[in-house]
Amino acid sequence: MAGEQIRLLVIEDVPQVASHIAALLNAQSQIKLLQVIASGDMALPAVAEYRPDVVIIDALLQGRVSGASVASGIRRANPEVTLISLTVPQNPVQEDSDRGIDAVLRMPFTGFDLTTLVRRVHEERGAQSARGRSLMIALFSPKGGVGRTTIAYNLAVTLAATHRVCLVDGSMQFSDLRGLLRVPADAPSIVNLPTDRIREADLAEVMWRDPSGIDILLGPPRVEMAEMVTPGDVEKTLSLLRKLYDFVILDTRASLSDDVLVFLDAADVILQVLSYDSMAIRGLAMAGETFRAIGYPATKLTTLMNRADALGGISRAEVEETLGHPIDHELPSEGLLVLAANNDGLPFVSVAPAAPITRAMRALASSFAARLGVQTPTAAGRR
């Protein structure tokens, strides 16, 4: 998006070149130099830590790891990051995006050359970046108890095997995730964020780092505090989260009120959850009319039947007819596993990796990963 700072990481072992780049960038504010890393060995952990948009890598890195292998390693692990190879005319380097060389910067260069190239390549690669690089998924149901919180948590954990994921607790009054994960009462929440300008550091301070590998932005610890969170605060927070995570999963409460609509408006995808329960089906059909009236495109909606093997006398075709659209995903019912995992505050996908419900969850996660345009999660993740 225009006007946003580009986050730059530099992998450079020649101190003079590193300080030259830093000096050139000092005079401008479009590109934020996050850090200079002086060794190829440290490149991957640094990318994980600093979450850059663009990385400049010296093609002539000395030491154990070459510039070329650093570039291809980052490309494999973080395909969303734009990579620029820095070289001298005597050492020509060819652009090759598959190997992590999206552009080549040749020495000597001016501040103008540097900022123009970084901006251009970042914009080209991220043509769909504002939307394409992150996917915000809101779980929605007008009927309570259909499994939104359970699915949101397990979907987030599944995606976290291969992506940066944040889960947002959208139930401001009763904070379902605090209950599920038995978070201490004094754990910070969205109410601890500043109301004027939210910075990345503020967000980092209030995130609950779940042992499962996901970051969670919790709802307030007390019912009456829900009123302290305005729709404007939520909007600002979500737009910043988009920049920091590949997936932002939003767990909402069962309602179609203004506090829920903030989440639904911001989402790229609304995952409508229901079960074979006539009230849930009717409620979702009514919500569908509202979504059409608001002007949400059909592509924004996708539907998941939870406990899909518990038909209760209703057929899938009947439900699809009532809703006016197909059921896109299904999760089976696994009462004992889900209940026990929830009661232990653990994701069922980790407790029972081979269970049918976990396989179904991986399929769901894969379909979202495919929308993001990068590799799909596998059982063996990077965490």
Residues that bind ligand ATP (CB under 6 A): 141, 144-150, 176, 253-254, 306-307, 331, 333-335, 338-339, 342, 357
What single letter denotes the amino acid at residue 312?
G
Minimum CB separation of residue 221 from Mg ion in Å reads 16
- DSSP string covering 274-335, please? E-S-HHHHHHHHHHHHHHHHHT--GGGEEEEETTTT--TT--HHHHHHHHTS---EE----H
Q: Is 2 helix (H, G, I), strand (E, B) or coil?
A: coil
Q: Which of 328, 336, 156, 342 is nearest to 241 (CA)?
A: 156
Kindly tell me which of 158 and 162 has the beta carbon lying closer to ligand ATP.
Answer: 158
Kindly tell me which of 83 and 341 has the beta carbon lying closer to ligand ATP.
Answer: 341
Q: Is the CB of residue 382 less than 8 Å from the CB of residue 162? A: yes
Kindly tell me which of 58 and 251 has the beta carbon lying closer to ligand ATP.
Answer: 251
Q: Which does 306 bind (CB under 5 to 8 A by kind): ligand ATP, Mg ion, none?
A: ligand ATP
Main-chain dihedrals φ then ψ at residue 304, nearest 5 degrees: -120, 125
Q: What is the DSSP letter of 3?
A: T
Kindly tell me which of 236 and 282 has the beta carbon lying closer to ligand ATP.
Answer: 282
Kindly tell me which of 153 and 208 has the beta carbon lying closer to ligand ATP.
Answer: 153
Distance CA 317, CA 48 (A): 45
Q: Which of 29, 91, 97 is nearest to 66 (CA)?
A: 91
Kindly tell me which of 76 and 222 has the beta carbon lying closer to ligand ATP.
Answer: 222
Q: Which does 133 bind (CB under 5 to 8 A by kind): ligand ATP, Mg ion, none?
A: none
Minimum CB separation of residue 145 from ligand ATP in Å reads 4
Q: Which of 3, 332, 289, 18 is nearest to 150 (CA)?
A: 332
Distance CA 291, CA 260 (A): 13
Minimum CB separation of residue 180 from Mg ion in Å reads 8
Query: Which residue is nearest to Mg ion, using beta carbons?
Result: 149
Minimum CB separation of residue 260 from Mg ion in Å reads 12
Minimum CB separation of residue 5 from ligand ATP in Å reads 36
Minimum CB separation of residue 248 from ligand ATP in Å reads 18
Q: Which does 342 bind (CB under 5 to 8 A by kind): ligand ATP, Mg ion, none?
A: ligand ATP
Q: Which does 53 bind (CB under 5 to 8 A by kind): Mg ion, ligand ATP, none?
A: none
